[in-house]
Amino acid sequence: MAFGAAASNGVRSGINITPLVDVVLVLLIIFMVLSPTVLKETDLRAPDEAVVQRQPEEEEQIEIRIAGDGSVRLEDAVIGSLAELRVRVRELMSGRDRKVAFFDVDDAASFDRVMTIFDACRGSGVEVLGLIPKPKMSGVAASSSAPAPRPREEP
């Protein structure tokens, strides 16, 4: 019972998929056997409730404010130049275990100026830089005492 012309005894040019199926099944069995050993569970130990990570105290962090015009205040003292900022930050960070600085940056401040100040602080010994978030101003316009604008009249 042949599926072709009886007279053709030549080479068949069709793809024999039997070896392909055999290889795929062998690979499937190998991956099924190996996957439980590769995907091992990791034991996780959660800390007890009594153990609380200590937050940095006020003495361990400094606050730097950058105004919209580029002026800098370090711990409520006005800083005149970048060199002065470097010296003051280095002095403040010299005896601290945790070298943390938080920045209160005005929205109008230049990005280049802010990055220059960040780099100066990093070079002066600050290890952790943080940003002080601005409070959201939702609902301010609704609670304002100013009268609502009148709708435009069309002619």
At 52 the pLDDT is 52
Answer yes or no: are the C-beta atoms of 105 and 114 closer than 8 Å. yes
More confident residue, 145 or 78: 78
Give a yes or no: residue 150 inside a domain: no
Q: What are phi and psi of 120, to 5 degrees?
A: -65, -40
The whole-number average pLDDT for the span 18-40 is 88
Number of domains in the chain: 1
Residue 95 domain-assigned?
yes
pLDDT at 155 exceeding the cut of 80 = no
Distance CA 116, CA 29 (A): 58
Instruction: Report H helices in the chain.
Output: 18-38, 82-93, 111-123
* Residue 54 belongs to a domain: no
**pLDDT 10s digits, 79-117:** 888 999 999 989 888 888 888 889 999 989 888 888 899
Residue 51 CB burial class (10 angstroms; 0-12, 13-18, ≥19)? exposed
**Lowest-confidence range among 25-29, 84-88, 135-139, 149-153?**
149-153
Chain segment 121-147, per-residue pLDDT in tens:
888 888 888 888 887 765 554 444 455
Q: Is residue 50 part of a domain?
A: no
User: Where residue 21 falls among pLDDT bands split at 50, 70, 90?
Assistant: very high
Q: Is residue 127 part of a domain?
A: yes
**Per-residue pLDDT at 144:** 47
Find out whether 84 and 90 touch, Cβ atoms under 8 Å.
Answer: no
Inside any domain, residue 10 = no
- pLDDT score recorded for residue 22: 95
In a domain, 109, yes or no: yes
Cα distance between residue 1 and residue 15, in whole Å: 20
* 149 inside domain: no
Altogether, the residues listed in the chain come to a count of: 155
Residue 94's domain is classified under what CATH number?
3.30.420
How many alpha carbons lie under 13 Å from residue 32 in its C-beta half-sphere?
6
**Domain span holding position 115:** 65-131
